[in-house]
Structure 1
Amino acid sequence: MTATYRAASDKTPPSYTTRVQIAGQVISAAILGQEGQVAASGRLAVAGTFGIIDQVETTPEHRRRGPGSAVMHTHPTIDRSVHSKGPPSILLVVT
């Protein structure tokens, strides 16, 4: 399955905030609820010409409210800011 990234959809849902950490080639994003708890999180690692998204998780009480989608849409935005060209291919690892 492929999907086109739409910049208009990279907004964090109301009442949530985004936290991003960058360590070398690994970008971690977390969407936090009103009380600072992690509602959703995921990582993107750059490997050559690929961006690999892994460990995407949404806590049960926050499912269907948008924070998981916000994690997925945060990674391409952050990746472009770190790597001028960004990886041409994104792989989603599902475990």
Structure 2
Amino acid sequence: MDRTVRAWVDGWVLSRGAAPPVVEPWGCTIDMGVDGHVARHVFGAIDEDVEETAVRKVAGVVTGAGVWLKVFRDPTVVGGWLGEGWWIDPEPGHLMTLPLTTTPEPTVPDGFRLRTWSRGGVTRTMLAAPDGSWAARGQLAPTGATAVVDQVETSPQHRRKGLGTVVMHTLQRAASEQGAESCVLAGTPAGRGLYESLGWTVTAPLTSAKFTG
């Protein structure tokens, strides 16, 4: 399995409280046990190394709704390998990485409140708006030399205010303090611009597909 993919899997499992990954010849299977997200099959190769035969084989034996595939290749390619019953996320994601160097101290906009805490091995940070409502959040799961950034979100009412940068700087500093040397995340097209402005680079495209039955 590609080292970056494995680091992301290990951190994602910790971040989401999922079952430990079951290693397969083509990648791994992760049980979630949630309605609409029962399990996910994550392929361990990226780009041209992803084998069409492996994807077809794994997808072909899925019969239950709510099972996901995570394939690190362009969806225009992966889509042609899947049969009926598969929904493909129209917004392809990206596997992104960042070598940890010096991260600036977060600058919280006036009136907003930042709080960060750790529990169960996961560090979470949040920003509350001046009126006390939720403004932004994110979390971090360290797995040794690599830390996984996960579930970074900003309220639609508070975008374009630099809150995403505050969240990312807070998590990156926490990763460094916990001994990580690099970070990895699976980002959406909406977040890619923010991450790249902070020095993150794209390692591979990410196709997310769900079996709907």
Q: Shared fold by TM > 0.5?
A: yes
- Which deviates more from structure 2 when the two are superposed, residues 11-20 or residues 55-64? 11-20
CA distance in 2, matches of 1:94, 1:47: 19
CA distance in 2, matches of 1:79, 1:64: 25
Using structure 1 for the length normalisation, give the TM-score: 0.81
**2:103 — aligned with what?**
6
Counterpart code for 1:38: W
CA distance in 1, matches of 2:163, 2:185: 17
The secondary structure found in structure 2 opposite 1:73 is: helix
The 8 Å contact of residues 5 and 73 in structure 1, kept in 2 or not, is answered as no
Structure 1: 5+ residue stretches without partners: none
CA RMSD of aligned residues (A): 2.0
Instruction: Tell me the number of residue pairs that the alignment of Structure 1 and Structure 2 aligns.
Output: 91
- Which deviates more from structure 2 when the two are superposed, residues 50-59 or residues 21-30? 21-30
**1:91 — aligned with what?**
184
1:56 pairs with 2:152: yes
Counterpart code for 2:150: D
- Partner deviation per Cα, 1:6-38 (whole Å, 9 max, x = no partner): 315x21122211011201320000011012211
**2:120 — aligned with what?**
24
CA distance in 2, matches of 1:93, 1:70: 19
Counterpart code for 1:6: T
Structure 2: 5+ residue stretches without partners: 1-95, 189-213
